[in-house]
Amino acid sequence: MNVLLIYPKFPDTFWSFKYALKFIRKKAAYPPLGLLTVAAMLPDEFERRLVDVNVDGLSEDDLSWADFAFIGGMAVQRESARQIIARCKAQGLKVIAGGPLFTAEPDAFEDVDHLVLDEAELTLPSFLEDLKNGHPQKIYRASGFCDLGHTPPPAWDLVEMKKYASMSIQFSRGCPFNCDFCNVTVLFGHRPRLKSDEQVIAELDRIYDAGWRSNIFFVDDNFIGNKRYLKTRLLPALIEWRQDKKGCVFFTEASINLADDAELLDLMVKAGFDSVFIGIETPNNDSLTECQKIQNKNRNLINDVKILQRAGLQVQGGFIVGFDSDSPSIFQQLVDFIQKSGIVTAMVGLLQAPPGTRLFDRLKKDNRLLGMTISGDNVDGSTNIDPKMGLDQLMTGYRFIMGYIYSPRHYYRRVKVFLKEFGNSEADTRIDLQRFLAFFRSSIRLGILGKERFHYWRLMTWTLVRRPRLLPLAITLAIYGYHFRRICEIHIL
């Protein structure tokens, strides 16, 4: 049995990092961890090949080799997934699909032969059993959530790591909070489920033994969902693991209450974390109440961000505009917040209602949904909601925010605010060949040809004089800025 695992293409979005990846000659930011995990669950007698369309073409040879195509992905990959399914069907392949896109929208994929939905740990065994017995069903669903203690390590032998900017690992799924626009708790539950520290270390060993010496993304919904386990088991194990390792630094996603726990913060930095993505959403307390993001309420959010930055974590932030409680003053308020906080990577999106969320149900009842699905890209200025302030005003305000925060002048100013604040992290600050080449290419593209050239050299000079250790980071952020600006120019402004 030959199984071809196919990961559809990401369009050019904020998250694709397309324009930044060119500077470091990488094809994609992250490998398809879901498909690699599924691959590891297939019986040994199955031959497996992986084609990540973001790094390699899907060839006729691949298609004619395969008996089955296993396709996974998220909503933003919808169009590419459709095209791939059509090609596979034209070739006579049986198509098996799973992962977030298909789990959220199974009815939209009539032509898929077998929809193996929810967590594969729960549904794949029944499909494989039925396949063996010759009567596989159209759809497999699970009612509960799996125990991650039984999830096998991803099949890393199927990817060429050097084509990616970062590797990925998952420690937990689920989140203890309950924000009404978020489908994480619908998909993965409230009680964070964990892999053991032994499992995580074994996965890291595989990645390291395969030669990887760079960024590793802990793709958890909320890394700090179980603080006790982190403090007593995982972080001490990571600290020990890193002692004789080179080059590996971690980043993850967490909730803002990380700023309240100095011990946890200290352990994370010692364990090698140098950045964290946080859903800040809005400085408007009424909007936080509206969406039930209670953990962000009644706090000095800028101060919280500074605590994290001083401790040695770069904070990337997710922001949303378009809540019912937002008045037109929110646009300026948000811009001021972002500039002051020194959150360089600020992902601002319009409020969207993903199917399955409480927000979706509420707006559906009120007849305020403009569409039953979301685009899947939270930074493209689209929404399926009829906003209270009116779509035109919201879009004008949104364009103002994006134009402002990603203009060279304000972007580079923000980088400096951040670099001034950034404490000592375990960040890898060596100037290796890849970094040297990135500097060389950025000097030409941004420092000579780019309209940001003045800001670019001013930042590099300032960093060299005041924070020389952070020069590689300044270069990386300049390159990110170029990517964000290009995406804004093409899709939003």
Window contacting ligand B12 (CB under 6 A); options: 112-120, 299-307, 323-331, 422-430: 112-120
Question: Does position 184 bind ligand SF4 by CB under 6 A?
Answer: yes
Question: What residues are paired with 68 via a beta bridge?
Answer: 3, 94
Q: Centre a 10 Å sphere on the Cβ of residue 228 and count the other Cβ atoms it contains.
A: 8
Nearest to ligand SF4 of 178, 289 (CB atom): 178
Residue type present at position 180: D
Nearest to ligand SF4 of 115, 224 (CB atom): 224
Instruction: State in angstroms the smallest separation of the CB of 316 from ligand B12.
Output: 10
Q: How far is CA 193 from the centre of its chain?
A: 19
Name the residue with tokens 């125990």: 147
Q: What angle do CA 479, 484, 489 make, to 5 degrees?
A: 125
In the shown chain, the binding pattern of residues 19 to 58 toward ligand B12, with x for contact by CB under 6 A and - for none, equals -----------x-xxxx-xx--------------------
Instruction: Report how far apart, in Å, the C-alpha atoms of 398 and of each of 63, 258, 328, 390, 408 are.
Output: 43, 29, 10, 12, 18
Q: Centre a 10 Å sphere on the Cβ of residue 236 and count the other Cβ atoms it contains.
A: 15
CA distance 75 to 68: 22
Question: Does position 70 bind ligand B12 by CB under 6 A?
Answer: yes
| Binding residue (CB under 6 A) for ligand B12 from 121, 197, 281, 428 | 121
Instruction: State in angstroms the smallest separation of the CB of 84 from ligand SF4.
Output: 29
Site for ligand SF4 in 7-46 (CB under 6 A): none
Q: How far is CA 238 from the centre of its chain?
A: 22
Q: Cα-Cα-Cα-Cα dihedral of 479, 484, 487, 492, to 10°?
A: -160
Instruction: State in angstroms the smallest separation of the CB of 481 from ligand B12.
Output: 18
Instruction: State in angstroms the smallest separation of the CB of 482 from ligand B12.
Output: 17
Binding partner of 153, given ligand SF4, ligand B12, none, CB within 5-8 angstroms per partner class: none
Q: What is the full DSSP assignment across 120-151? A: HHHHHHHHHHHHHTT---SEE--SS---GGGP
What does the block give as tokens for 87?
């090609």
Instruction: State in angstroms the smallest separation of the CB of 448 from ligand B12.
Output: 30
Count of residues binding ligand B12 (CB under 6 A)? 42
What does the block give as tokens for 258?
């990380």
Q: Cα-Cα-Cα-Cα dihedral of 75, 57, 31, 402, to 10°?
A: -50
Nearest to ligand B12 of 217, 456 (CB atom): 217
Site for ligand B12 in 79-108 (CB under 6 A): 96-101, 104
Q: How far is CA 102 from the centre of its chain?
A: 18
Instruction: State in angstroms the smallest separation of the CB of 351 from ligand SF4.
Output: 12
408: left (phi over 0), alpha (psi -120 to 50) or beta: alpha
Question: Does position 207 bind ligand B12 by CB under 6 A?
Answer: no
Question: Does position 116 bind ligand B12 by CB under 6 A?
Answer: yes
| Binding residue (CB under 6 A) for ligand B12 from 9, 10, 459, 488 | 10
Q: What angle do CA 87, 53, 22 make, to 5 degrees?
A: 150
From 315, 298, 312, select the one nearest 428 (Cα to Cα).
312
Whether the Cβ atoms of residue 98 and residue 38 lie closer than 8 Å to each other: yes
| Binding residue (CB under 6 A) for ligand B12 from 48, 173, 358, 455 | 173
In the shown chain, the binding pattern of residues 186 to 225 toward ligand SF4, with x for contact by CB under 6 A and - for none, equals -----------------------------------xx---
CA distance 325 to 155: 46
Instruction: State in angstroms the smallest separation of the CB of 190 from ligand B12.
Output: 13
From 203, 148, 156, select the one nearest 173 (Cα to Cα).
148
Site for ligand B12 in 353-382 (CB under 6 A): 376-378
Binding partner of 418, given ligand SF4, ligand B12, none, CB within 5-8 angstroms per partner class: none
Q: How far is CA 333 from the centre of its chain?
A: 26
Nearest to ligand SF4 of 176, 247 (CB atom): 176
Nearest to ligand B12 of 352, 443 (CB atom): 352
Instruction: State in angstroms the smallest separation of the CB of 116 from ligand B12.
Output: 4
Instruction: State in angstroms the smallest separation of the CB of 219 from ligand SF4.
Output: 12
Binding partner of 222, given ligand B12, ligand SF4, none, CB within 5-8 angstroms per partner class: ligand SF4
Window contacting ligand SF4 (CB under 6 A); options: 40-48, 174-182, 243-251, 308-316: 174-182
| Binding residue (CB under 6 A) for ligand SF4 from 255, 275, 309, 316 | 255
Nearest to ligand B12 of 247, 356 (CB atom): 356
Instruction: Report how far apart, in Å, the C-alpha atoms of 59 and of each of 39, 53, 83, 113 are.
Output: 20, 10, 14, 21
Question: What residues are paired with 484 via a beta bridge?
Answer: none
Residues that bind ligand B12 (CB under 6 A): 10, 13, 15-16, 30, 32-35, 37-38, 70-72, 74-76, 96-101, 104, 116, 119-121, 124, 168, 170, 173, 182-184, 187-188, 219, 221, 376-378
Residues that bind ligand SF4 (CB under 6 A): 175, 177-179, 182, 184-185, 221-222, 255, 279
